[in-house]
Structure 1
Amino acid sequence: MSLAIAPIRTAAVRTAPSLPDAPARPVSIAPRAAETITTPVQSAAPAAARTGAPRVRAVPEGTEARGFVLYVGIDEAKALEDGTTLHRIVEALRALTAEVAPSAETYAAVALAPEGAGGRDVDVVRLALQDPAALAKQREGQGTRDDADRHPNGVIIDISRKRVLLDGEAAGLTYKEFELLQYLVLREGRTIDRHELIESLWDADDEAPSERTIDVHVRRLRSKLAHYQDIVRTVRGIGYRFDRHADVSIRQASTPSPDLY
């Protein structure tokens, strides 16, 4: 059985660490993040069948129900307004499950979304936890946008698909060039020094490039951005910065880039 509770704040799905006083498999709710709580539960499907209990609706022949997921959308501010906390909600649901079905096992996970993501809390939670129906609906909605993407004007930086379109044409960035641009985009308006770029974009096992090499990567990136190259600014003596322009559109899934989270 799965149980999910999630508030909303920063986009990646993450399993929370353990809660202090939780039973069996404790879960902790990050104090500053929106969370979704997921709980796998074992269900006695064979026993139900033997007693003649009705099958769960919409379960195809040849399969058996092993549990369920309950998506709960609420952020920390709303929980406080209701006189509770995310932690208390999770514990109450765990206690109820133990009371109704003592043999059930539960597991809680936290769903995070970017601050100010907008939309209904429960919809954000479903997307963050990769609910198939929610993902299918999102793909349908993106279909019309994809058609519009073929010949748009301006820059589209699609972080979820790892691509950059310039006036509808792919910019053809290398993996490292995209990683570099993405790093700057996710820290919009902040000047990033060369040392931070080296530490963040090159693994410890790799041969670390020199600061001059970073300049070469940035130069190549800017040349591929063509007449939009000024979105990547050079701050003399410090490093580089991404500046948003009116003709730049940034697309990101509900789950944030692992680069940042």
Structure 2
Amino acid sequence: MSHTATLDRTASAATPASIRSSAAALPAGTSPRGFALYVGLDEVKAAIDGVSLPILVDALRRTIAELAPSAETSAAVALAPQSAGGRDVDVVRLALKEPSATARAKQEAPKPETETGVVVDLSRKRIVIDGETAPLTFKEFELLQYLVLREGRTIERTELVTSLWETGDASAPGERTIDVHVRRLRSKLGRYEEIVRTVRGAGYRFDRHADVVIRYGTGAPSPDRF
């Protein structure tokens, strides 16, 4: 079968309204330098029509060379997984990274649900709150970890100071100034601050809530059993 590319010169001489409006909307200081024609057609559909993609590309090139000998052409075939759904032309636009199609795909892509709750990751020494790593200092993490490993037990201020600071450490807080460290820790826990409870006249206790996950991991301290 012979395939000849033909074009109605009378029709092509008239500029389509869509092209005229696009040209009028060009940003200041820019000018058209060419165009891209996205063709949605797989080889199966092309075979049904009695053609193939290489034949169509060659026909378009010869037509352009006849109408505009000075034009330069470059053809790109869009590849996509065989399971890709949607209209062929939309798949082609996305595969070739056509700007407006890529932007639209990002807008329509389902957004992952935000992780909520607290993850106390003892192996990595970090606290994740609602999907964001909390900016705890080393001592703040040690303080929380000490309470977590003794879940449900009230820890006196004296024990916290002697356990978390070396004897003779000039930066070690007193029994009362330990409260400052706890307040700073709780402020960084945000709406989950109540997992560190104040036991009036006694000390502090870690209470696990339903939205708190403890990850021990390999090499993490083992919880004390009381």
Q: TM-score interval w.r.t. the shorter chain? A: 0.3 to 0.5
**Greater RCO, 1 or 2 (C-alpha within 8 Å, sep 6+):** 1
Larger Rg: 2
